[in-house]
Structure 1
Amino acid sequence: MTGTTHSHPATSTDRWPSALGLVAAGGAIAVMALGDREAALFGPSIATMAGIYLVAYALGRPWAAWLAFPALSAVVAVLHVLRARDVAALDPAVGMTVLLVPLWLWAVARRRFTEPRTVTLQTVGMLAFGAVTLLASAVQSRLAVLVAAVGFLAHGVWDAYHFRVNAVVNRPWSEFCGVVDLVVGAALVVVAVA
């Protein structure tokens, strides 16, 4: 008897993360259409996306990205509300970037540095996406939207890499996030140049 495996042809249900990503991206585009605060709303999302990867990495559980997403989204939402109500003057982009440091330290404390290539990549991602987030909050409105677009598109490439190597986060997450990032990034480019 041979150890033959049977693979089934891919169906549309196998692409549920892409479909969910398109729905989420559609919601983001609706927010863009209804307001004019793209830089303020989408800039902090870049650091948030990096934070989601750091949570999954720190826990060593790729599926944890799905839990980190609503948790970190809630944190950035609270920062937006606090700033809008003049309770705290902290820019949500700065707050989310600063949050990356304890998330990275948490990964180190959990001794997740045993794979030098992975810890180096996650550290570079934290620094790069944090820098793009801060840059988006520091420049003028139209340029800030373009910087946010570059951040989203770059994170889409990050997702594609993680999908290919099947590391840090699970493939459904990197597929979902990649679709969101590429569609939202392209929409932000259109907003910035329109």
Structure 2
Amino acid sequence: MTTLHGPGASALLHRWPTAVGLLVALAAVLGGADRDGVATTVAVAASCYVAAAAFSLPWMAWAWIPIASVLAVGGGFLRVDPVVTTGAVVAVLVVVGLLRGASRPALTLETAGFLGYGVVVVVALLLSPGVGLVLAALTLVAHGVWDVWHLRRHRDTVSPSLAEFCVALDVPLGLAVLVLWAAPM
């Protein structure tokens, strides 16, 4: 039986968020990532940052992933677009954050980020499927840049492991979708 020892193993274990992000990106690509799925991924990812700011708990971004995913799917059962459901839930998060006395600069920053990415993915959903897919994928890659910025500058707002996970999910998934879209059939 082989065991992990030494500094290489420690570094590998330290990068678990990257490994998980890459696995989720791969699963999304193999599952046939489409415009709606990529747009929902952007909305859920951005909502995680708002949740962390609203509760002033960096780890809340991790807890928010399954919550936002369930809410997005649940909205779909009610025939409400997952991006619209996520936007409504973010509005509630902002109110909760304000009532809780969350840091106004953090809540404002994350809400502005959600609104910016949200507007772009709503536009992507209104475009033809191919053009919308490209715009949603580019938005996902841009959210990866947002993730890197948080990883380097806003570690107090969002858990660094979550930001690292998101970089490893957003950028590879967005780029893979673009490559697959551009590849000849």
Relative to the length of structure 1, the TM-score reads: 0.82
Instruction: State which structure, 1 or 2, has the greater radius of gyration over its C-alpha atoms.
Output: 1
Alpha-carbon distance in 1 for matches of 2:86, 2:11: 38
Alignment map for 1:100-111 (pairs within 5 Å): 100-111=90-101
| Runs of at least 5 residues in structure 1 that lack an aligned partner in the other structure | 1-7, 83-87
In the alignment, does 2:120 pair up with 1:164?
Answer: no
Q: Does 1:93 align with 2:83?
A: yes
Superposition deviation, residue 51 in structure 1: 1.0
Q: Check the 8 A contact 2:43/2:117 in 1, yes or no.
A: yes
Q: Quote the residue 1:135 is aligned against.
A: 123
Which of 105, 111, 125 lines up with 2:113 in the alignment? 125
Asked if the contact 1:39–1:141 (Cα under 8 Å) also holds between the matched residues in 2, the reply is yes
Number of residue equivalences: 175
Instruction: Provide closer, same or farther for how the CA distance between residues 123 and 192 of structure 1 changes in structure 2, counting only shifts above 3 A.
Output: same
Q: Secondary structure at the match of 1:11?
A: helix
SS, match of residue 22 in structure 2: helix
The aligned amino acid for 2:175 is A
Match of 1:76?
Answer: 72
Counterpart of 1:62 in structure 2 is: 58
Q: Name the structure 1 match of 2:141.
A: 153
Residue in 1 that maps onto 2:162: 173
1:106-146 Cα deviation digits (max 9, x unpaired): 222221244x3x33321320210110221121111001111
Structure 1 runs (4+) deviating above 4 angstroms are: none
CA-atom RMSD, angstroms? 1.8
**Cα distance per residue 1:41-74 (max 9 Å; x no partner):** 2212211111111111111111111110011111
Separation in 2, partners of 1:192, 1:141: 11
* AA aligned opposite 2:24: A
What SS is found at the alignment partner of 1:62? coil
Q: Any unmatched runs of 5+ in structure 2?
A: 1-6
| Aligned equivalents of 2:148, 2:121: Cα separation in 1 | 20
